[in-house]
Structure 1
């Protein structure tokens, strides 16, 4: 299976970035994400990272509590702007963030 942005959001719908609405509502909403230009290695890394995150929540029988705002590439590293209340999940994000896989 070829890993694409679309296939990842289909497999991991919780990972699709949200925009927080500036209103009295506490609800965010899903947006049309800017198409990614990641290289193959970066796409594989993101997929593996999302799998690991999902597996952690599954292992502890917890609902997935991660809100992602943006995936971005900075000098060959994948950064994820997000909110998460679990230090173990933050550690997973950091583990993948430090891996250099070349620029777009």
Structure 2
């Protein structure tokens, strides 16, 4: 037997979904392009910061011999993101003395 005073669960769910969805907003292609450019700029700044931090750490690493230091610097300069990520992943943990 169904209670006539309470709305059906299906109807309540439908109303709740509509209430959560909010108003429909159209985004212009210019706004999307601006957001993509901003995201690309943030990624570039992050990559430059990562590479710079890796080079500074390599220069300050007292446990590296001159040859190993040169190889790490070349790795970071020739393959910037891969070299920097490799340095942070394994390079500063190696004991080369």
TM over 0.5: no
- TM-score, structure 1 as length reference: 0.30
Higher strand share: 1
Is the radius of gyration larger for structure 1 or structure 2?
A: 2
Higher helix share: 2
- TM-score, structure 2 as length reference: 0.32
Instruction: Indicate the structure whose relative CO is greater, using CA pairs within 8 Å and at least 6 residues apart.
Output: 1
